[in-house]
Amino acid sequence: MSECRSLVAIIGGTGLNDFQQGRVAGERQTPFGETSADIIVSAVADQPLAFLARHGRPHSISPHKINYRANLWALKQLGVEQVIAVNAVGGIHTDLPAGSIVIPDQLIDYTYGREHTFFDGGRASLEHIDFTYPFTESLRGQLVNAAHHSGITVVDTAVYGAVQGPRLETVAEVNRLEKDGCDIIGMTAMPEAALARELSMDYASLCLVVNPAAGRSEILITMTDIHAVIDTGMIKVRKLLTAMILEKAVDTQSTRCTRGAGPRFR
């Protein structure tokens, strides 16, 4: 692997519990507890890639029980500089039907009771991170470009409402989220995005709308319907991720390497 390549990580959510075969790397145990699963390192072309299953393997950890701090910390220790988070979400508007792919640019956090910062008084001196733009614009741009180049339609601006779960919402809650300005609803982008920022890692979210939000369709939401959308939608998500990582590999080849050290794989 080239010394010049930075390590990119995919955090897979519901419907994306693996990406491709690789080897286990890094440590599951961190000062904040254990990661959701082993980190699997592989490569696409020459671009190194780490993968972490957010809900564990098998998929069993509820959104509010995920050890977000351990996950982000372990990725950082491995040398990850950019994180692409894959999130299954509900769509609030009729122009975001099930199957849509969305790359949000803003979020509102409604979660509670989650360990949401590394600045908890224990180990680091207090810093108030800037979170004006919660998703890294350049990384979002790379996803959007890769989507265009591979003919995949994406919505490239949206407000992600991060809710506690694991239950879905009431109609009144969805109405309130809409009034607040949310376009999509998910359970896992927070505190993940903020923790990545605290560790100075780029972070972007690639969302698959797996259901119309509560009260936004004639029928009730069922897991059967959600899984049907996941089965087809995640094929597109995988294609887009592969295209984006391939483009990163080409970009790095055509740019002179100025980085001193390569990825710190263990």
Is 107 near ligand HPA (CB under 6 A)? no
Give the interface segment with ligand HPA, choosing from 139-147, 196-204, 209-217, 244-252 (CB under 6 A): 209-217
Q: How many residues bind ligand HPA (CB under 6 A)?
A: 13
> Which residue number places its CB atom closest to ligand HPA?
90
Q: Tell whether residue 111 is a contact of ligand HPA (CB under 6 A).
A: no
Contacts of 121 (CB under 8 A, 6+ apart): none
Q: Could you say which of 12, 15, 26, 90 contacts ligand HPA (CB under 6 A)?
A: 90
Q: Are 14 and 88 in contact (CB under 8 A)?
A: yes
User: Which part of the chain contacts ligand HPA (CB under 6 A), choosing from 27-35, 46-54, 132-140, 161-169?
Assistant: 161-169
Does 63 sit behind a cis peptide bond, omega within 30 degrees of 0 on the bond before it? no
Find the binder of ligand HPA among 9, 50, 75, 89 (CB under 6 A). Answer: 89
**With left for phi above 0 and alpha for psi between -120 and 50, is residue 151 left, alpha or beta?**
left
Query: Closest distance between ligand HPA and the C-beta of residue 20, in Å?
Result: 24
Taking CB under 6 A as the rule, which mask of x and - marks residues 175-204 in contact with ligand HPA? ----------xxx-----------------
What mask of x and - would describe binding to ligand HPA in positions 210 to 249, judged by CB under 6 A?
xx-x------------------------------------
Q: What is the DSSP letter of 155?
A: B
> Burial, 127: exposed, middle or buried (Cβ in 10 Å; 0-12, 13-18, 19+)?
exposed
Q: Is 169 in the site for ligand HPA (CB under 6 A)?
A: yes
Q: Tell me how long the chain is.
A: 266
Can you tell me whether residue 130 is helix, strand or coil? Answer: coil
Residue 198 and residue 4: Cα distance in Å, rounded?
A: 24
Alpha-carbon gap, residue 97 to 110, rounded angstroms: 23
Footprint of ligand HPA on this chain (CB under 6 A)?
88-90, 163, 165, 168-169, 185-187, 210-211, 213
